[in-house]
Amino acid sequence: MPTPILEPTSDPVADPEEGPMATPVSDARQVGIQVEAKIREWNLDYRYVEEVAVADLKVIEGSQIRELEHRVNPIQVAEYVEQMRQGVVFPPIVLWNDTMIIDGNTRIAAARTLRRKTFPAFQVAFPNGDFAKAFAATLNQMNGRRLSTEEAHEAALTLFKYDHTEDAIARELGYSKSQIANWRREAEYAKRAERMRLSTDARQLPKNIQRKLVQISHDAPLSAAAEVVAKYQPKAEGLNKLVEDIKKATSDAAALELVETAKREWAPVGPPPHRPSVSKEMAQAKRIVPQIRSFLGHEVLLVEPDDLKRAEWIAAWRDIERLAKQVIAVHG
């Protein structure tokens, strides 16, 4: 059970699992009892403060789970303003440490409209911004303002980093376990593709194919299979059979032989029916290199006239020279 990092400024709220309280609490904290229970459930250190200066509160983009256009709805702000005027008590906002808003943008926008000086808050010691964003995501789902699929996806990826189970993430974000499992597999594929330095085509395989391939546990056969699948684009039954056969293989060598067999089966017979596919990087280079070559014999036109920028310009050309040598060496 987490403990407040400072003594609360009002009587403590009871744990919701321990039944009703005998000790009175401030109205705002009572309204926010579910939020406080969630903070405790996540085992976070925190404190409750009845009056935090509204003028000191700030928003840092990296700590916000909602996309900018979804963050503060003017219609909802107007509703909150009217409710506050009528004396409705709102739950405390959630801050990262002392002043950074994690949950409560709309409430603060309404309070500022009414020129209120203070607002109650839970000040929480989140370990980092990603964790704070994930916590805010669960609060949004809890209060009915559902996240967009993109926002929920980002929150799920953060929770994966902290080893939350698929069941727990599905419960917190309100998405099916199968959807959460798909996001986990896609994230795992992206991570392994980066580590194995897969080609652009292999990295950009359709998500459903990524989820199938990532079931291959060892990197060597996964890398080989991904490249072959990206090149030959087999039908679903062929892909499924390859993955299942590799999962049953007794060694990496046996798995790689299965990939070679599939490659021979999937490769078209006879001359290629079309020109080899060109990566985005090669297409970009083919546009740029002819432009640079057009200056051969006119090098003086590329001399930097500004003495202050000349060293930086020379360094850039040396980088290009080094790249050219590396490209030639690879071709050789």
pLDDT at 74: 87
CA 114 vs. chain centroid, Å, equals 35
pLDDT at 83: 92
pLDDT in tens, the chain (332 residues): 554 544 433 333 333 333 333 333 458 998 889 899 989 988 899 999 999 999 999 887 655 544 444 456 788 899 999 999 988 999 999 999 889 998 888 899 999 999 999 999 999 999 888 788 888 877 876 665 666 677 777 777 777 776 777 777 777 777 778 888 888 888 889 889 998 888 999 999 999 999 999 899 999 999 999 999 999 999 999 999 999 999 999 999 999 999 999 998 888 766 655 566 677 788 888 888 888 888 888 888 888 888 888 899 999 999 999 898 888 888 87
Closest CA to 60 of 91, 99, 92: 99
Beta strands of the chain (E only): which ranges?
A: 46-53, 93-96, 100-103, 118-124
**Global confidence as pTM:** 0.48
pLDDT at 17: 36
- State how far the Cα of 137 lies from the Cα of 156, in Å rounded to an integer: 9
Closest CA to 180 of 172, 170, 188, 190: 170
φ, ψ of residue 103 to 5 degrees: the values are -145, 130
Domains of the chain: 16-168 (3.90.1530.10), 181-266 (no CATH), 280-331 (no CATH)
The answer to whether 256 and 218 have CB atoms below 8 angstroms apart is: no
pLDDT at 269: 65
Kindly state the tokens that stand for 261.
């067999």
Contacts of 57 (CB under 8 A, 6+ apart): 93, 95, 99, 100, 101, 108, 119
Identity at 66, one-letter amino acid code: R
- State how far the Cα of 239 lies from the Cα of 102, in Å rounded to an integer: 44
Kindly state the tokens that stand for 148.
């967009």
pLDDT at 72: 67
**Stretch (H or E) spanning 26:** none
Helix axes 129-142, 33-41, angle to 10 degrees: 140
pLDDT at 270: 62
CA dihedral 118, 73, 176, 184 (to 10 degrees): -80
- State how far the Cα of 19 lies from the Cα of 286, in Å rounded to an integer: 71
pLDDT at 279: 78
Secondary structure (H, E, C), 154-186: HHHHHHHHCCCCHHHHHHHHCCCHHHHHHHHHH
- State how far the Cα of 35 lies from the Cα of 315, in Å rounded to an integer: 55
